[in-house]
């Protein structure tokens, strides 16, 4: 989960997301619209009996925010939860994902996040496994997950013996709130999906500069310069009537045609073949 604004726990319920799944929460900065939903999420997870550990990453000030919640509203969890105070350049592994945080230019300290997934193997080829005498079942699953197996006759079968070439890594980059900056351009290089704030249309570029945000055109220019494959713009100002078509989206698409407007409960499939919309709730754009 990248950022945790108000009503996040409600949206998780609407999305049908389980409360006990493996997950991590990545906070970009300590402005209210990016972090006020965190106490509610932690309390809801506890009330619903979450047992899995939960790691939360964010700027150093996040520690003080969580401690204040513990001291004032008894913000504790029934499951193991750990808050990591991080800086730009921090890297770690989140399950199958490699995460790297990078600093962006906003009002105060703020981060963006780069997430990369590299499949351990290429596509599993059943015919090769059968020809090598590997029985269908658990051994196939083990090999497809990138782990070698030993057969009863002592032969060792390696994953590359029964799989095709590895696909290219899949990279998703999330900007958080920022002005255009080299740190974001570098992180977004060749990204399969760039999720980028674009709060204003060009007519309000002065507000974007003053408040540390971007216009749709500026977000699209980042996507062009980074050679990203798909751009999703979010964090739009409520001054625009989204139901009649957003000028922010129109301006962004004029620069970078493969631009989508984030909407509540939008689901995208991201893999080496590209980005495809699976479904979305058209009730209201984000």
**Among 7-21, 104-118, 124-138, 183-197, whose mean pLDDT is lowest?**
7-21
* DSSP sequence for 30-75: --HHHHTTHHHHHHHHHHTT--S-EEEEE-THHHHHHHHHHHHS--
pTM: 0.87
Question: What amino acid positions are annotated as catalytic residues?
Answer: 33
Q: Greater confidence, 277 or 216?
A: 216
pLDDT score of 281: 53
Question: Distance between CA 102 and CA 29 in Å, rounded?
Answer: 12
**% of the chain residues with pLDDT over 90:** 79
Domain definitions of the chain by residue range: 1-86, 87-119+167-286, 126-161
Q: How confident is the model at residue 277 (pLDDT cuts 50, 70, 90)?
A: confident
User: pLDDT (tens digit, 9 = 90+) per residue, 103-114?
Assistant: 999 999 999 999
Strands (E), 71-177: 81-85, 91-94, 97-106, 108-117, 149-150, 156-157, 170-174
Mean pLDDT of the chain: 92
CATH architecture of 87-119+167-286: 4-Layer Sandwich (3.60)
């Amino acid at each position: 989960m990248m950022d945790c604004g108000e009503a996040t726990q409600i949206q998780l319920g609407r999305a049908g997301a389980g409360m006990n799944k493996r997950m991590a929460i990545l906070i970009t900065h300590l402005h209210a619209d990016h972090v006020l939903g965190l106490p509610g999420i932690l309390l809801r997870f506890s009330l619903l009996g979450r047992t899995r550990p939960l790691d939360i990453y964010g700027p150093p000030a996040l520690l003080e925010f969580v401690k204040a919640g513990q001291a004032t509203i008894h913000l504790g969890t029934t499951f193991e939860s750990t808050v990591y105070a991080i800086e730009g350049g921090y890297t770690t592994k989140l399950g199958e994902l490699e995460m790297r945080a990078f600093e962006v230019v906003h009002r105060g300290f703020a981060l963006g996040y780069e997430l990369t997934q590299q499949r351990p193997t290429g596509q599993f080829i059943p015919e090769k496994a059968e020809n090598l005498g590997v029985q269908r079942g658990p051994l196939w699953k083990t090999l497809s997950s990138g782990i070698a197996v030993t057969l009863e006759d002592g032969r060792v079968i390696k994953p590359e013996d029964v799989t095709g070439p590895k696909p290219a890594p899949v990279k998703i980059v999330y900007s958080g709130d920022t002005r255009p900056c080299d740190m974001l351009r570098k992180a977004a290089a060749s990204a399969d999906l760039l999720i980028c704030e674009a709060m204003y249309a060009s007519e309000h570029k002065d507000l974007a500069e003053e408040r540390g945000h971007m216009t749709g055109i500026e977000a699209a220019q980042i996507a062009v310069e980074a050679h990203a494959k798909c751009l999703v713009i979010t964090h739009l100002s409520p001054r625009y009537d989204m139901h009649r078509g957003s000028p922010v989206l129109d301006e962004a698409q004029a620069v970078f045609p493969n631009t989508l407007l984030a909407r509540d409960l939008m689901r995208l499939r991201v893999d080496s073949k590209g980005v495809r919309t699976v479904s979305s709730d058209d009730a209201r754009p984000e």
